Amino acid sequence: MPNFVVRVEMHSASAEHYEMLHEKMKARGYKREAQGTDGRMYRLPDAEYMATKSFSADDVRDETRAMADSIVPGSFVLVSQVEQVSWFLAPAS
């Protein structure tokens, strides 16, 4: 199954709006952390998620946009299908 990196920006959203988004995304299998090659879990930047899904990038975009727009209409969603991810992030607490 393909892996995706998803970025969401909700315009004029509060911290509470983003907490609602995090809960909705989590319920659909999106994660805010990624496991490094060292086995440790790393936090992703704010409002960025990773997921493994059995459908296309367009479907991931539509699913994510529907969740975000149910909280704050007119959200920005960027989806990238990835084979390999390399990053430098602070370890999760």
Per-residue pLDDT reduced to its tens digit, 29-47: 999 998 877 888 888 888 9
Structure tokens belonging to residue 65: 């946009």
Task: Set out the domains of the chain in order of their start, with CATH numbers.
Answer: 3-82 (3.30.70.2360)
- Tell me: pLDDT of 91 over 70: no
Quickly tell me which residue has 């991931």 as its tokens. Answer: 60
Dist CA 6 CA 22 (whole Å): 12
Place of tokens 């319920």: 27
Strand positions, DSSP E, 1-85:
3-9, 33-35, 41-43, 48-52, 76-82
